[in-house]
Chains A and B, each alone.
Chain A
C-alpha cells in the first residue's frame, strides 16, 4: 500500500459525459501528479500540482482540467468524453516540487467510455 488513495476504482460512462477522479496523496506529500495509461501504452504525464499550485503540464487535453485543494487532495476533471479517453488514470504523490523524489502511485481509476 503506497498510502495514495484514488476513487473511484472503476468508472463506466458514455461519450459526451463529464467525470471527476479523486486522489488523496500520502500524508505529508505536497506534490500530486496525474498520469494516463492507455492499453499497451506507457505512462503519459498529464499535470502536476504542488501545494495547491500548478507546477508542470504535460500533453493534457483542453477537455481535461485538474486542481489541488487546501487539504492537498486533487481532482482530475474529464469532460466531453470520447471513446479514446478510456484508460487507467493514476495519480502519484511525492514530498517536494521537482521530480527528485520517488513518486508513490495510487491504485488507479479505470475509466471506460462507451
Chain B
C-alpha cells in the first residue's frame, strides 16, 4: 500500500530543476506533498485532489494522473532552501478504509551552491 517514490535521492546545483515521482498500486483520492528538513517537522507543500483541484504554495507545481495513480512534484530553479526530504502521502481505498494518508519513504534532495 505504501506509495513508491523515485528517485530515492538527488543532488542538484542551485538553479537546476528536479522532478520527484510518487506511484501507488491503489486507486487514489488525493496526493499530498510535504518537505521535511533534518531535525524538523514536515511542512505542507501541496494537495492534489481527484478531479483536478489543487491546493498549495504558489511556487510549487505538481501533477496527478488519476488513471495511473501517479503524481509528480516539479522543483524549478532550485534554491538552497529546497534541500530536505520530500514525502508524498496518498489517500486511497485501503481495504475500505479512507481518511488516512500513507506516506512514501521519501526522496532526499540536496541543493548545492
Contact = CB atoms under 8 A, between A and B. Distances in A.
Query: From DSSP, what is the main secondary structure of chain B's interface residues?
Result: strand
Interface residues of A, number: 27
B105 A56 contact: no
A99 B44 contact: no
Interface in B13-55: 30, 32, 40-44, 47, 49, 55
Given A42-B104, A42-B105, A43-B87, A103 B44 contact: yes
Contacts of B81: none
B101 A45 contact: yes
A23 to B, nearest CB: 12
B99 A42 contact: no
Contacts of B101: 33, 45, 99, 103
Top 7 A-B residue pairs of the complex, sorted by shortest distance between their CB atoms: A102-B44, A105-B41, A56-B99, A43-B103, A56-B100, A42-B105, A42-B103
